[in-house]
Amino acid sequence: MVELAREADGSFALGHGGDTFYTAIYLSRCGADVAFATALGKDSYSDGILEAAAAEGIATDLVLRIDDRVPGLYLVETDENGERKYEYWREAEPARQLFELPGWDHIAEELVAAELVYLSGITLSLYSNVGLGRLLAALEFGRERGAKIAFDSNWRSRGWRGDEQRARAVFSEALKRSTHALPSFDDEAKLWGDATPEATVERLITFGVREIVVKNGSQGALVHADGKNVRVSVPEVIKPVDTTAVGDAFNAAYLAARLKGENPEAAALTGHRLAAQVMRHRGAILPRPKGEGGRKRR
């Protein structure tokens, strides 16, 4: 989406964002070959999103474009504790039709062929039942072929119009097809009523998820892998400047480390470290080191 972020002086800065887009950026920075699948318009703001992706080395050949439409818009403000507040305008964004537009079948084929597919509960909140059916079928075929399917519930009531029953049903179908789950405990407690991160792990195991990381803020993360639970503490508890994209960055660093062969505990520590860097910075995306340009990826 197009992002308007309020600055300290009250002005607004124009950018580009979204939970899975943030994760794609940090995955690419961590060395993964990344493509991003979505639908955009043919306007200058859509051009800007594609340029931002290309600058990060993210392949955009899975982006469908349609006439007379513009991306969704959101406004973000951050309070003195670093917590963010969003307002969205996204009812007519092209991304909602991704799996109903001409070319959706090519995207589904690429999902099936990928080594890793990452999606969130916000992703699922966009689509109609037709779109969901096509996406879930692609994920199922991908998992059967050996793909890793990573899912962060990222529960946002507004995106589901408060329909918790439908969200739980759709999330359940996504989890049945997932190999990795990376939820935040506060989201799981709100949607499912989980009392502890351990309860979240026990529930997710019933869906057949093999590897689970329950993020829990300053209390660290509970990692479930190889049949056991391990708590991975944050290296340092810090006062956040801005919590935007902290969980998305953790997910990226964790998954990139796992793709490189690190064990789950080490990968969670890598995730904590990147999350801490993002938390200390105002805005979702850390500045790239000088001299670092975009890399062509596929």
Please report whether residue 25 resides in a domain.
yes
Please report whether residue 81 resides in a domain.
no
Residue 184 gets which letter from DSSP?
B
Residue type, 79: D
The CATH code of the domain that includes 206 is: 3.40.1190.20
Please report whether residue 194 resides in a domain.
yes
In the prediction, which pLDDT does 294 show? 47
Distance CA 12, CA 76 (A): 9
In the prediction, which pLDDT does 296 show? 42
Summarize pLDDT for 12-45 with one digit per residue, the tens.
999 999 999 999 999 999 999 999 999 999 999 9
SS3 assignment, position 46? helix
- Comparing CA positions, the residue from 176, 177, 155 lying closest to residue 166 is 155
Please report whether residue 172 resides in a domain.
yes
In the prediction, which pLDDT does 291 show? 57
Please report whether residue 51 resides in a domain.
no
Sign of the CA dihedral 88, 254, 256, 78? positive
In the prediction, which pLDDT does 179 show? 98
Residue that has been written with the tokens 């470290």 in this structure: 273
Residues of the chain with pLDDT under 50: 293-298
In the prediction, which pLDDT does 64 show? 98
Instruction: Give catalytic residue positions.
Output: 248
Please report whether residue 156 resides in a domain.
yes
State the burial class of residue 144 (Cβ atoms within 10 Å of its Cβ: 0-12, 13-18, 19+): exposed
Per DSSP bridges, beta strands 211-215 and 221-225 are antiparallel
Two structure tokens written together for 235: 């290296």
Distance CA 63, CA 122 (A): 18
200, 172 contact by CB (below 8 A): no
Please report whether residue 77 resides in a domain.
no
* Count of CB atoms situated within 10 Å of the CB of 55: 15
pTM listed for this prediction = 0.94
Distance CA 226, CA 215 (A): 18
In the prediction, which pLDDT does 6 show? 85
267, 258 contact by CB (below 8 A): yes
- Between the alpha carbon of residue 159 and those of residues 90, 99, 100, 247, the distances in Å are 10, 18, 19, 18
Please report whether residue 66 resides in a domain.
no
19, HSE (Cβ side, Cα atoms, 13 Å): 24
In the prediction, which pLDDT does 20 show? 98
**Structural domain containing residue 239:** 20-39+95-279
In angstroms, the first-to-last Cα distance of the chain is 22
Residue 287 gets which letter from DSSP?
P
136, 173 contact by CB (below 8 A): yes
Number of domains in the chain: 1
